[in-house]
Amino acid sequence: MSEIPTSSVSKGCFVFKSASKKRKRHVGVGGYLVDDSDDNASDRFKICQKLWETVQMNTEVIQDQLNKKVLDSLAEFIKKHGLGRSSDNWRQRASEIPTAALMLGVNVPDHAMTFRSLCNLLQDSVTPFVVSVHAKECAAVKFLIQKVLEQLMEIGVSVDEEQEDDTALPQRTQCTISALCQWYKTVTKKSTKVSPQRKENSTNSDLPQSLPVVVIFKDFEAFNPQVLQDFILICSRYTQELPFIFIFGIATSPSAIQHRLPHSVSSLLCIEVFHSLSCTQHLASVFEKLILNSEFPFKLSSRVIQVLVGIFLYHDFSVQNFVKGLQFSMLEHFNSQPLSVLCCQKQEALLSAKTLSKKNVERIRHLPSFMRYVETQEPQEQVRLLTDDEHVKGVCHTLLKNLHKYHKNYYPILQCLHSLTSSLPKFPLGKHIRELHVSCIEKNLWETEEYDSALQLLRILAKDELVAALRKCAEILKSAKRMQNVLQQLDDFIGRLEALQSVSSEDSSGNGIVSGKIEYQRTDLFQLQKTLLEKESRRTRRMNPFEVLRSQVIEFIDSLVREYLTPAELQPLSEVCYYSSSGVLRQRLNVTPRTSIQAALSHPFYYLQNESLKTNSGTISSAAPDLCIVYKLHLECGRLINLYDWLEAYVTVMSAAEDQDTNSEEGGKYDSLKHARFIQAVSEMEFLGFVKSTKQKTDHVARLTWGGC
């Protein structure tokens, strides 16, 4: 640039264009899984992306299926109250507004998808005038009306009454319901001019004149009660001109309407309550379609399932967050496990097994499940498995077939066992199938006390109960092609049970009990007691045909459990499909903000990675940020902290940073800058919730947390 002349008679600004630099290459999503040292990273990303899309699509389908009933009911409610030409059918008074109270539950993150489906359904089949509002956007009535007008009229509206720019008046509309009435009349008049074909398809040519205006309050409990009251009162005065219909999205209970609206306002609403499906039933459907599905190759270990279900039950009841946790587990598995290239559909996995690289073959040899498999083989076979790569590929081909076969047989038997035990008293094997699934993949189920108690309860089932339970199992096994032999045996048991006549009555002489002949002789009380106990122990009860057949059925079920419900970790190459890093998942999803904040304030080097912040335990680094110094000093105080003493301790630490003698007169003094920094640090401590001001002493603050550091 020095060669370019910059001399000029007058002052000026000279621009020098820099030499063209190479543009930074944009790394896509798949680039994070691609590594130069890993030859199958791109394949893993493609498989992960495909499974991700499958999860997303299945989740939306399940959501639509579960919400179909309540959404159809809402659509019928709006058609009934909004599309009718006469309002006498649904209004007690002309000022009443039809209102649907939609009970969605406390799983607030799932409400967005439900409202999205509701808006699409109403706009497609009922009315195009659908508005949805949030409480955070409607702090006052004028903002609420503004949002309604913006979404309906799809133009910018003005909240202020005065317009500074006169040229903007034709393009802007005042934020009033009367303006909405004028717009509604204009739109409905235009819509009456329809084509002849549309008139033939429409049952009522005047139908567009009475299209309702639906206002959806997504988070009803979060709205300011006064805003709701004013808006309802205003809308009730325009019911003759605007056919309003309200939908309240309620997370708690219908009593929330009474708590937020007085009787004078709630009497203006014609309320009908609608209940959506519970979040636990929604989770059961998602769990069955995604996790308990042999066609979905990605699997979760027992501990990972417990982490995800624990977050669901104890935090938010959100199925969407559960699905996000499943997707995160899938992404982490494909990122951390190079052998996840085999976690795909059966045919793709078998093809990938034939083309495994030398590194992946060596990784397979180090898998714990494969090492256990090698130990069970003959010595010559062990040598080949540890030395011959081509032989390992052939064995992996067979083991992958067995793994897919294991999943094909596992899930039908699991569902059968759950249908048999889910109705037993006290639910010994769990009320939900996910609890039984966790027990099966974690350990040998038949070695637990819960399984023994479940079999004991099954052995006392009545004939009709046992036949009904076996019929449910038969319906489950009909869809399993590999279980036809089991289905035939089950049908045979059902036929034999139905063919049995009523249980024959016991013999009147001995009640079906075989007993020996008692010889009466003179003996003492001890000998008599001993003889009676021996005779009682030899008494045997004769089993009737039903009890014999029932015992055979239970033994048959027990044999199926022992054969097919073995733990997943015992299957060779199970690490390919099963994600088991529950600690990583808990650290990412079930975070503890307070612990992280305390760790950052106590040990700032952990986050900042500055060598000057390294200190021994119990010491305070003068190079640490002010907030860290103030936090460590407050840990040494009691319930009440004297601000002056706290300031003096802070100044002492800061003087050490400036190499001043703390015992000298200048070392103990503080200037306005240090004072301001201390006040700012204390304010940040109060904002984080560690201290608060107290009325007991004006120059003190109260400590709120204990056990830090």
CA distances from 10 to 5, 13, 14, 123, 476 (A): 14, 10, 12, 67, 92
Q: Indicate the pairing of strand 700-703 with strand 640-642.
A: antiparallel
Region of 132 (left: φ > 0; alpha: ψ -120 to 50; beta: rest) is: beta
- Give the Cα separation of 546 and 493 in Å (integer): 11
Q: Say if residue 82 is exposed, middle or buried (CB neighbours under 10 Å; 0-12, 13-18, 19+).
A: buried
Side-chain half-sphere exposure of 351, counting CA atoms within 13 A = 6
Q: Extract the runs of DSSP E, i.e. beta strands, from 138-255.
A: 157-158, 173-174, 213-217, 244-250
Residue 71: pLDDT above 80?
A: yes
Q: Give the DSSP letter of residue 510.
A: T
Give the residue ranges of DSSP H helices in 318-367.
319-336, 346-354, 358-365
Task: Give residue-wise pLDDT tens across range 340-377.
Answer: 999 999 999 999 999 898 999 999 999 999 999 999 99
Task: Give residue-wise pLDDT tens across range 125-183.
Answer: 988 999 999 999 998 998 999 899 888 887 444 444 444 444 333 344 577 888 888 88
Task: Give residue-wise pLDDT tens across range 410-445.
Answer: 999 999 999 999 989 889 999 999 999 999 999 999
- Give the Cα separation of 231 and 147 in Å (integer): 12
User: Class of 66-159+172-193+208-277 per CATH?
Assistant: alpha beta
The dihedral formed by the CA atoms of 334, 336, 337 and 343, expressed in degrees to the nearest 10: -10
What pTM was computed for the model? 0.76
Q: Extract the runs of DSSP E, i.e. beta strands, from 109-177.
A: 130-133, 157-158, 173-174
Cβ neighbours, 10 Å, residue 458: 19
- Give the Cα separation of 591 and 557 in Å (integer): 43
What tokens appear for 239 in the block? 């019911």
- Give the Cα separation of 266 and 247 in Å (integer): 14
Give the residue ranges of DSSP H helices in 337-432.
346-354, 358-365, 368-375, 379-387, 389-421
- Give the Cα separation of 410 and 294 in Å (integer): 9
Domain ranges of the chain: 66-159+172-193+208-277, 282-503+525-578, 593-703
pLDDT score recorded for residue 512: 38
- Give the Cα separation of 422 and 428 in Å (integer): 8
Region of 120 (left: φ > 0; alpha: ψ -120 to 50; beta: rest) is: alpha
Cβ neighbours, 10 Å, residue 96: 18
- Give the Cα separation of 344 and 161 in Å (integer): 62
Q: Say if residue 554 is exposed, middle or buried (CB neighbours under 10 Å; 0-12, 13-18, 19+).
A: middle
Q: Give the DSSP letter of residue 313.
A: I
pLDDT, greater one: 298 or 82: 298
Region of 117 (left: φ > 0; alpha: ψ -120 to 50; beta: rest) is: alpha
Average pLDDT over residues 605-627: 79
* The CATH fold of domain 593-703: Arc Repressor Mutant, subunit A (1.10.10)
Output helix, strand, coil percentages for the chain, rounded to the nearest 5: 60, 10, 35
Task: Give residue-wise pLDDT tens across range 249-299.
Answer: 999 999 999 999 999 999 999 999 999 988 888 999 999 999 999 999 999
- Give the Cα separation of 610 and 624 in Å (integer): 10
Task: Give residue-wise pLDDT tens across range 460-479.
Answer: 888 899 999 999 999 999 98
- Give the Cα separation of 148 and 227 in Å (integer): 14
What tokens appear for 407 in the block? 């999943």
pLDDT grade for 1, boundaries at 50, 70 and 90: very low
